[in-house]
A and B are shown apart, each in its own frame.
Chain A
């Protein structure tokens, strides 16, 4: 594994990791939709992508809510890594693991690293749900201690990607190759809304990358749904079954081993 398996933190390192602070948008103790099994989902606040169809626009700004004295702070809030672990810990008997998501968790790499290291060391394997904007090849502390990655491939073509998200996708594609080759990719995802970008080409290239590195990662093809999006995105077209089936066929044809329509 080219990422290298970092050992779980020693006691001294744990103390340092536990004190790290980050912005947390929300913690969900039971989630059925953030990876395999029942997982706690920790959503970090702040995202550099500005996706047209963003489903959690409230998690984009890198801010925390102000708490008035003697009141519980509102979400999003500043928390230590220890605080996050403590919020999840009572539910550990019910969990397959934890998923750190966002916002974009890669925006706070040191905090992400602390969460992945602490949870993994406590026997709650951590999945990282990311848009791929952080250069993970440069972060063996995260990659080595995470149980796996779920990566969004918004669009293959850089021009389309920029139009869709306001950001370049060179890091996304580099991460796709790096994580798949390292055996760390568990899921690749593309949200489909007809006409927004060339989904055929994106799915074709994404599946091709999975096949090229022999990755067993699931390719999840997700129908655009208007729930949670900004007003401007409510009327984006929703794909019909035939479109989704066609994309799934493309992914399988290119060698993706596990393709799901969601």
Chain B
């Protein structure tokens, strides 16, 4: 069937989802990227994959607006004055969200919501009502669980209200991160976050100290966690994300030496070339940065945009070339894993983009969580589901990889439902994991309705709806269903 016709007649899609689907089909009619045969061969083989970004990049994949500035100045383009109370503040944000583009057509970053709303929290009951409606509207109209909001590191009234409402409402959207800093985040606030995570698989805990110091070193005052768990410069974002599938690359090398000396470096270079080309079209030809009011009003700056060098399937690649040692269990295998990541990192660092100024034109490394059609490919540098070691060992073995991925890497842990009686248990483990060098830690109770698939969230009740052949609110539900079948995400080891 013609792809457009397939979209039009799919009974499991809402009208909005069909329109987005048709836009994709139309974009893919264009042939505007200059892709050499070597790159194309690796793309056809599934080694290099742009995650269905489309054939003609006309907006950055991830846009991270400076919402703080927007709250101070309003918007001339949107005809909005700076908000003066909680109702105006929440309405202003909801209006702006409609105009923040991304690869999903929904905003992937909704702001550091507690800090944005705290100045407007006067009467607490009124604030609770306003924020409750705000969160409900986000869930019901931004139908994509890559929409991500940040909290912390300090405790605020707004932050507590958001966590309490999140627990009450049990929504899949927005995805949430607590920026955690042991000096700035009080234990009771972190415990409330942990209790909320056990019930709704969010917020995750981000290592604020690591993110902050890295992004400052790159010249960005502030950072955001967007989409799955992607660290990005505030007031900018990422033009594109292309990933290297190491699981598929592995069999192209006869042995470990060939992998390290030629197959891997060549593939990295081809991926860098492909990223450059996608960025070139977006920056030089699409006109996005010239026409967007977000740029004109200072909410985003072209010089704060980077691009993400993603990779996936490290575990499978290592296991194929480690002579029987197992990734996540044997030191020898983990050493090979680190060697591969260090090699990739060095090569990515030495490449300077001719089109991007941020971080000196160097791309940001990203441990990609996979796509729903992946089979036998573990997310990023994760230890495969079903082979997870004991919790402390799991954390200690994963931590050394995290420093290489400023634009995102993380682990997801399923906890026994009885942990709800003692959310401090989860808080302590999350805090300990970050202290041990983990960049990002996600958890949920094994019986929760909201489940973290790889980086995004899906409701089991929505999955049931989709399995009955009905349309579902979030486009991410379909991705979740496939990932459950292909990656076994509901089979994660349960920690107690």
Interface residues in chain A, defined as those with a beta carbon under 8 Å from any beta carbon in chain B: 29-33, 36-38, 90-91, 93-96, 260, 262
Contact = CB atoms under 8 A, between A and B. Distances in A.
Contacts, number: 51
Interface stretch (B169-177, B309-317, B358-366, B418-426): B418-426
Contacts of B432: 38, 91, 93-95
A36 B427 CA distance: 11
Contact of B422 (A37, A91, A93, A95): A37
Q: Which 3 A-B pairs have the closest CB atoms?
A: A94-B432, A38-B428, A37-B424
B391 A33 contact: no
Contact of A32 (B392, B419, B433): B419
The interface residues of chain B, by DSSP majority, are classed as: helix
13 contacts: A30-B429, A31-B425, A32-B496, A33-B422, A36-B422, A37-B425, A37-B428, A38-B424, A38-B426, A38-B428, A38-B429, A94-B431, A94-B436
Given A37-B422, A94-B428, 15 more contacts: A30-B391, A32-B416, A32-B418, A32-B419, A32-B422, A32-B496, A33-B418, A36-B422, A37-B427, A38-B424, A38-B425, A90-B392, A93-B436, A94-B392, A94-B436
A29 B392 contact: yes
B435 interface: yes
Contacts of A29: 392
A102 to B, nearest CB: 20
A96 B424 contact: yes
A90 B495 CA distance: 19
A96 B428 contact: yes
B424 A36 contact: yes
A94 B422 contact: no
Contact of B392 (A36, A91, A260, A262): A91
Nearest to B182: A93
B439 to A, nearest CB: 15
A32 B426 CA distance: 8
Nearest to B392: A91
Nearest to B416: A32
A39 to B, nearest CB: 8
A31 B419 CA distance: 10
Nearest to A36: B424
A32 B496 CA distance: 7
A33 to B, nearest CB: 7
Contacts of B419: 32
Given A91-B392, A94-B392, A32 B436 contact: no
A38 B415 CA distance: 13
Nearest to A91: B392
A262 B421 contact: yes
Contacts of A95: 428, 432
Interface in B158-202: none
B188 to A, nearest CB: 12
A38 B395 CA distance: 15
A96 B425 CA distance: 8
B495 to A, nearest CB: 8
Contacts of A262: 421
From B428, B429, B431, B436, residue with most partner A Cβ within 10 Å:
B428
Contacts of B421: 32-33, 260, 262
A198 to B, nearest CB: 27
Contacts of B495: 30
